[in-house]
């Protein structure tokens, strides 16, 4: 079974698979990571929103720092998925600050990747701007490093040429989020990301 799901993970990043199929595969992968429990039935209060709801008078940033054990990758993936859903539902940047700080540093690129993916999937400028503002805050507080941002942006960039057929605004939304992360000002990193595209010049022009 693990072999099949590893192959599915590879397909979610393959340029030969259209974005709609990639998202469907990702949903199945995430469902398995939750032990086949639908997202709305997961009762464990691992996300900022659910803990705040359970104990609204005693939630603070420090409450989340040790929430995820360093070695619990499955828990990290589950939390990233749930936090991302909460982020677009709550849309509160002050509450969202802890989404990075309660993740081990080595997993923060996964949150970046997930938020980018969801914003482009919905194809809404307001979602991309929300993510960009969140990335800008995280960068200003050193909660997410430039290298972590680059690593999080790379997977989507590798399939952006195909996604644009289903989501014509994908390049523009992607550029908006890159600007939020400050990658538009980092010549080396923006060049590396653009090099993954068939039309890297299009992305670079949007970053001007």
Residue 58 vs residue 194, higher pLDDT: 194
Q: Looking at residue 50, what is its pLDDT?
A: 56
Residue 172 vs residue 52, higher pLDDT: 172
Q: How far apart are CA 149 and CA 25, in angstroms?
A: 24
DSSP string, 122-166: HT-HHHHHHHHHHHHHHHHTTSS-HHHHHHHHHHHHHHHHHHHHH
Look over the chain and give the mean of its residue pLDDT values, rounded to a whole number. 83
Q: Residue 82: enclosing H or E segment and its boundaries?
A: helix 73-90
Residue 175, judged by CB atoms within 10 A of its CB (0-12, 13-18, 19+), counts as buried
Per-residue model confidence as pLDDT tens digits over 1-45: 777 778 888 887 877 777 667 777 787 888 788 777 765 454 444
How many alpha carbons lie under 13 Å from residue 161 in its C-beta half-sphere? 14
Proportion of the chain above pLDDT 70, given as a percent: 83
Q: Looking at residue 55, what is its pLDDT?
A: 56
Q: Looking at residue 59, what is its pLDDT?
A: 45
Q: Which two tokens stand for residue 30?
A: 């995430």
Neighbours of 139 (CB within 10 A): 18
153, pLDDT greater than 80: yes
- Find the mean pLDDT for residues 158-184: 94
84, pLDDT greater than 50: yes
Q: What is the CATH number of domain 78-206?
A: 1.25.40.180
How far lies 124's CA from each of 159, 195, 199, in Å? 18, 25, 22
Residue 156 vs residue 56, higher pLDDT: 156
115, pLDDT greater than 60: yes
Model confidence, pTM: 0.67
Per-residue model confidence as pLDDT tens digits over 121-152: 989 999 999 999 999 999 999 999 999 999 99
């Amino acid at each position: 079974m693990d072999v099949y799901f590893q192959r599915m993970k590879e397909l979610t990043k393959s340029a030969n698979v259209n974005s709609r199929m990639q998202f469907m595969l990702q949903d199945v992968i995430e469902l398995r990571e939750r032990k086949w429990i639908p997202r709305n039935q997961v009762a464990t209060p691992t996300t900022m929103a659910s803990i705040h709801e359970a104990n609204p008078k005693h939630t603070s940033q420090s409450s989340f720092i040790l929430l995820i054990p360093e070695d619990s990758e499955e828990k990290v993936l589950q939390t990233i998925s749930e936090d991302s859903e909460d982020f677009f539902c709550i849309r509160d940047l002050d509450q969202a600050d802890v989404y990075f700080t309660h993740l081990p540093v080595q997993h923060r690129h996964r949150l970046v990747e997930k938020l980018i993916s969801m914003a482009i999937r919905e194809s809404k400028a307001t979602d991309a701007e929300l993510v960009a503002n969140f990335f800008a805050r995280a960068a200003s507080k050193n909660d997410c490093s430039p290298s972590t941002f680059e690593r999080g942006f790379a997977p989507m960039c590798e399939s952006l040429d195909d996604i644009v057929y289903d989501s014509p605004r994908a390049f523009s939304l992607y550029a908006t989020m890159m600007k939020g992360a400050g990658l538009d000002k980092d010549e080396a990193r923006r060049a590396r990301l653009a090099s993954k595209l068939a039309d890297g010049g299009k992305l670079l022009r949007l970053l001007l």
